[in-house]
Amino acid sequence: MSAPVDVASIERELRELWERFAHDGQDHNQHPVMRACVLNLLVWAAQESAEQEVSDGMGLITAS
């Protein structure tokens, strides 16, 4: 069963948590808090002949 999710709200809460942890770490001489984001993109093409077109499109998307 799926339910609607407010992605902006989740991102806002995560940002607030990271900022709080980063600030707390500075007070106690702890290691800095770092955040990394990764995106995986999978593309399926019905025909092998579409490989170049898909590759070109992915290059345009990821260059932004």
What local confidence, expressed as pLDDT, does residue 5 receive?
86
Band (pLDDT 50/70/90 cuts) for residue 61 is confident
| Cα 22 from chain centre | 20
Q: For 19-60, write each residue's pLDDT tens digit.
A: 887 776 555 566 666 777 787 878 888 888 888 888 888 888
How many helices (H) and strands (E) are present in the chain, helices listed first? 2, 0
* SS3 (DSSP) at 15: helix
Helix (H) or strand (E) run with residue 23 in it: helix 7-27
What was the pLDDT predicted at 28?
57
